[in-house]
C-alpha cells in the first residue's frame, strides 16, 4: 500500500477504510475483510459508536498472527462534545479502551465547534427547543491538550478535521507539535483546491472524507436529524465519471478515488461490502491521463458542492467557530 510521509516521519497509507454509519456487526466484518485485502489504515471516531467492534476485529487479526499492531494505522477523533482541554485525555482513553489499543496513530479534533456534553449518554447536549447547546472553546488550549497526548504516547500524530484555513493557521502558529493531517470533505464536487494548497505550504497532509460523495448520507440525516439536503448529489452517476470509468475499465468509484490519490490526497472510502472494499483499494494498476484529470477537475462546484454543512446540528451556524461560509 502506498503511503504518505507525515511530519515526524510517520507513514500514513493513502487509502483507509471509512467506518461512519457502519453498525458494530457491519464494521467488524468490514474491518476483517479490509485487513485480508491489504488495508492497514482504518478511520473511526468516538461518536461513530463502533470503536468496540473495530477493536475486536483488530485484536482477532493481531492474535491470529497475520500482522502486528505496528503494521496498522488507526485514526480516531475527539467528539464535538469533548472540545475542552480537560476532556481530551478522558475521551482518548475511552477510545483506546474500546479499540483495545495502547495508542492510536492519529488523533483528530473532529470539529472546530463544540457542544456541551450530555454526560449520561455521552452525546451533545440538546436544548428543549431542539437546538444544540453551544459551548465556546479555545481551540489553542484544546490543541495543547492534544500535544500532551503525543508526549504521553497515546497517539503518534495529531491533527484536525473540518477546520477552515483560518482555524488551521491559528493552531499551526501556536503549536509546539504541528498538526500532521487535515481531514475534510473532499470529492469531485468539492475539491478544496485553495485549502489543499495552504496545507501543502504547511506540510499538512490532507485526508478526503466522503470521497465518493457519501451515497446514503441523506437518508441518514433525515432519519437521525429530520434534516435533508435538497438535490443530494450523485457524483458516482455523473456522465463524465461514467465515461472515464468505461475508458479505463474501472468502476466510477475507482475513478473518483484515483482522481484524489493521484494528487496525493489520502482517501477513506467507507464500505461494508466485500467486493467494494476490495475495489476501493485496487487503484494502483492504472494512471489517469492529464486530460481526464482536467475533466474531473471541472466537476468542482466549490462551496455549492458541500454535503456536510453540519446544519443538521440545529443552531450550529451560530457558533463562533462554525467553519463554513453561511449557507
Ligand atoms: N471527519 C468527519 O467529519 C467525517 C465526516 C464524514 C465521513 N468521515 C469519514 O470518511 C469516511 C467516508 O465518508 P462517507 O462514509 O461519508 O462516504 P463515502 O465513503 O464517500 O461513501 C460511502 C458510501 O458509498 C458506498 N460505496 C462504497 N464504495 C463504493 C463503490 N466503489 N461504488 C459505489 N458505492 C460505494 C457505500 O456503501 P456500501 O457500504 O454498501 O459499499 C456507502 O454507502 C466515513 O466513513 C468516515 O470514516 C469523516
Where do the DSSP E strands lie in 162-225?
181-185, 205-209
Give the confidence band of 326 by pLDDT, cuts at 50, 70, 90: low
Report yes or no on whether pTM surpasses 0.75.
yes
Residue 305 has pLDDT above 70, yes or no: yes
> Could you tell me the distance, in angstroms and rounded to a whole number, from the CA of residue 271 to the centre of ligand 1?
6
Q: In the chain, what percentage of residues exceed pLDDT 70?
A: 99
The 3-state DSSP composition of the chain as helix, strand, coil percent (nearest 5) reads: 40, 15, 40
- Of residues 95, 74, 63, the one with CA closest to residue 17: 74
Residues 199 and 214: their CA atoms lie apart, in Å, by 24
> Out of 39, 48, 107, 209, which one is annotated catalytic?
48
Averaged pLDDT for residues 249-269 = 98
**Sign of the dihedral defined by the CA atoms of residues 68, 273, 299, 220, in that order:** negative
Q: What is the DSSP letter of 55?
A: H
Q: Which atom of ligand 1 approaches the CA of 217 most closely?
A: 16
Number of Cβ within 10 Å of residue 251's Cβ equals 18
Residue in the block written with cell 482536467? 294
Residue 327 is predicted with a pLDDT of 53
Residue 58 is predicted with a pLDDT of 98
- Of residues 25, 20, 147, the one with CA closest to residue 160: 147
Query: For 97-122, what is each residue's pLDDT tens digit?
Result: 999 999 999 999 999 999 999 999 99
Q: Which atom of ligand 1 approaches the CA of 277 most closely?
A: 28
Averaged pLDDT for residues 234-260 = 98
123-156 burial, b at 16+ Cβ within 10 Å, e below that, comes to ebbbeeeeebebbebebeebbebbebbbeeebbb
> Ligand 1, from 42, 106, 210, 252: best to mutate by most atoms within 8 Å of Cβ?
210
Half-sphere exposure in the Cβ direction for 245 (13 Å, CA): 17
> Ligand 1, from 31, 53, 212: best to mutate by most atoms within 8 Å of Cβ?
212
Give the confidence band of 325 by pLDDT, cuts at 50, 70, 90: confident
189-204 burial, b at 16+ Cβ within 10 Å, e below that, comes to bbbbeebbebbeeeeb
Residues 194 and 205: their CA atoms lie apart, in Å, by 14
Q: Does 248 qualify as catalytic in the annotation?
A: no
Query: For 16-71, what is each residue's pLDDT tens digit?
Result: 999 999 999 999 999 999 999 999 999 999 999 999 999 999 999 999 999 999 99
Residue 215 is predicted with a pLDDT of 96
Query: Please, what is the average pLDDT of the chain?
Result: 97
Q: Which atom of ligand 1 approaches the CA of 111 most closely?
A: 3
Residues 273 and 18: their CA atoms lie apart, in Å, by 12
* CA-proximal residue: ligand 1, atom 36 (nearest): 271
Residue 1 is predicted with a pLDDT of 84
Q: In the chain, what percentage of residues exceed pLDDT 90?
A: 97
Averaged pLDDT for residues 199-203 = 97
Complete domains list, the chain, with CATH: 3-313 (3.20.20.100)
Radius of gyration (C-alpha) of the chain in whole angstroms: 19
> Ligand 1, from 20, 29, 237: best to mutate by most atoms within 8 Å of Cβ?
20
Amino acid at each position: 500500500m502506498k503511503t504518505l510521509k507525515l511530519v515526524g516521519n510517520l507513514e500514513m497509507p493513502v487509502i483507509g477504510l471509512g467506518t461512519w454509519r457502519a453498525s458494530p456487526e457491519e464494521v467488524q466484518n468490514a474491518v476483517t475483510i479490509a485487513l485480508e485485502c491489504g488495508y492497514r489504515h482504518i478511520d473511526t471516531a468516538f461518536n461513530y459508536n463502533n470503536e468496540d467492534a473495530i477493536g475486536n476485529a483488530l485484536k482477532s487479526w493481531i492474535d491470529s498472527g497475520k500482522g502486528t499492531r505496528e503494521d496498522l494505522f488507526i485514526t480516531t477523533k475527539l467528539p464535538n462534545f469533548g472540545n475542552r482541554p480537560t476532556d481530551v485525555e478522558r475521551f482518548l482513553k475511552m477510545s483506546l479502551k474500546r479499540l483495545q489499543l495502547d495508542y492510536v496513530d492519529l488523533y483528530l479534533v473532529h470539529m472546530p465547534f463544540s457542544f456541551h456534553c450530555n454526560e449520561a449518554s455521552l452525546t451533545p447536549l440538546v436544548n428543549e427547543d431542539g437546538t444544540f447547546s453551544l459551548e465556546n472553546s479555545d481551540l489553542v488550549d484544546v490543541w495543547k491538550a492534544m500535544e500532551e497526548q503525543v508526549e504521553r504516547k497515546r497517539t503518534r500524530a495529531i491533527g484536525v478535521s473540518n477546520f477552515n484555513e483560518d482555524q488551521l493557521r491559528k493552531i499551526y502558529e501556536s503549536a509546539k507539535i504541528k498538526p500532521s493531517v487535515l481531514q475534510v470533505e473532499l470529492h469531485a464536487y468539492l475539491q478544496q483546491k485553495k485549502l489543499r494548497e495552504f496545507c501543502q505550504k504547511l506540510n499538512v497532509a490532507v485526508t478526503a472524507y466522503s470521497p465518493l460523495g457519501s451515497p446514503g448520507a441523506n437518508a441518514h440525516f433525515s432519519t437521525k436529524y429530520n434534516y435533508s439536503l435538497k438535490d443530494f448529489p450523485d457524483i458516482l452517476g455523473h456522465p463524465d465519471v461514467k465515461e472515464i470509468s468505461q475508458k479505463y475499465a474501472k468502476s466510477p468509484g475507482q475513478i473518483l478515488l484515483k482522481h484524489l490519490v493521484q494528487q496525493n490526497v489520502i482517501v477513506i472510502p467507507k464500505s461494508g461490502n466485500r467486493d467494494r472494499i476490495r475495489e476501493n483499494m485496487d487503484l494502483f494498476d492504472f494512471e489517469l491521463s492529464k486530460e481526464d484529470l482536467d475533466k474531473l477537475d471541472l466537476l468542482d462546484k466549490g462551496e455549492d458542492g458541500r454535503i456536510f454543512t453540519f446544519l443538521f446540528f440545529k443552531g450550529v451556524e451560530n457558533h463562533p467557530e462554525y467553519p463554513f461560509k453561511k449557507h
